[in-house]
Amino acid sequence: MIILVFFFAHWYLSLFCQTFFLHRYSAHKMFTMNPFWEKFFFFLTYATQGSSYLSPRAYAILHRMHHAYSDTDKDPHSPHHTENLFTMMWETKDIYNGFAKGTVDPDPQFDRDYPVWERMEKIGDSYISRIAWGTFYVLVYVLCYLYADMHWAFFFLLPVHFLMGPVHGAIVNWSGHKYGYANFDNHDKSKNSLVFDVLMLGELFQNNHHKLPNRVNFGAKWFEFDPVYPVIKFLHMVRIIKLKPVKVKA
């Protein structure tokens, strides 16, 4: 069905940009890229996240805080210091907005070395852009309903399109710190929720990632598969990006 193709294309393209560009590049600088490719992936992140566009700077600050204060009361999104999934999302939104809109000054140790494209930031964070993307999603569903024999129940998927970026973040930070198994004792509550993480493209290997935060492959054991790692290796091979040597702390 056409609408499912559209939904999963949006889900995985947005998720890829979040894990590849916002997480592994903006927050952790696991690899480098030249200015052309940085702007290419910056724009791709905007285009795939659409109405739920996340600022690379604000995302990087939040994520670095998450690592520094994992599962403590200073963690900006820990499921162990919020009542439920929705209160965690709401509190994260408030902290994110403070950094994105410049109303809160973050600790300088977290506010550094992230991709900057001010014009794209302004466009992505504008109400006009967010409403335009939301309208586009609605039009796709309306057209599929009118001309592609789509069942009306699929309209309930629209809120996921509207909030795609935060939905991905909520799944990772809730499930990845509550459910699953641990390979390492990180002195926090991080977990690996899946063994073959095709649902969240490797992001649910949270226990591995908190132990080895600069390791580009989020899988650590032989049986764990991070689907984005082969893509990153390919991009390195064709010289679109350049992987950095990994420094592992004992």
pLDDT in tens, 93-137: 999 999 999 899 999 999 999 999 999 999 999 999 999 999 999
Average pLDDT over residues 147-170: 96
Average pLDDT over residues 29-47: 98
**Distance of alpha carbon 223 from its chain centroid, rounded?**
24
Q: Quick one: pLDDT at residue 203?
A: 98
Q: Quick one: pLDDT at residue 45?
A: 98
DSSP 59-128: HHHHHHHHHHTTTSTT-TT-GGGSSSHHHHHHHHHHHHHHHHTTSS---TTTS-S----HHHHHHHTSHH
Check the CA dihedral 188-28-123-42 and report its sign.
Answer: negative
Q: Quick one: pLDDT at residue 54?
A: 97
Residue 248 pLDDT exceeds 60: no
- Could you give the C-alpha distances from 23 to 10, 30, 69, 141, 164, in angstroms and in order? 18, 9, 17, 30, 15
Residue 217: how many other CB atoms lie within 10 Å: 20
Q: Which residue has the higher pLDDT, 250 or 163?
A: 163
Cα–Cα distance, 176 to 190 (Å, whole number): 6
- Calculate the average pLDDT of the chain: 95
How many distinct helices (H) and strands (E) make up the chain? 10, 2
Q: Quick one: pLDDT at residue 1?
A: 84
243: left (phi over 0), alpha (psi -120 to 50) or beta: beta
Cα–Cα distance, 142 to 152 (Å, whole number): 9
Residue 250 pLDDT exceeds 60: no
Cα–Cα distance, 14 to 118 (Å, whole number): 21
Q: What would the pLDDT profile of 177-233 be if each residue is shown by its tens digit?
A: 999 999 999 999 999 999 999 999 999 999 999 999 999 999 999 999 999 999 999
Residue 249 pLDDT exceeds 60: no
Q: Quick one: pLDDT at residue 52?
A: 97
Residue 22 pLDDT exceeds 70: yes
Residue 153 pLDDT exceeds 60: yes
Residue 43 pLDDT exceeds 70: yes
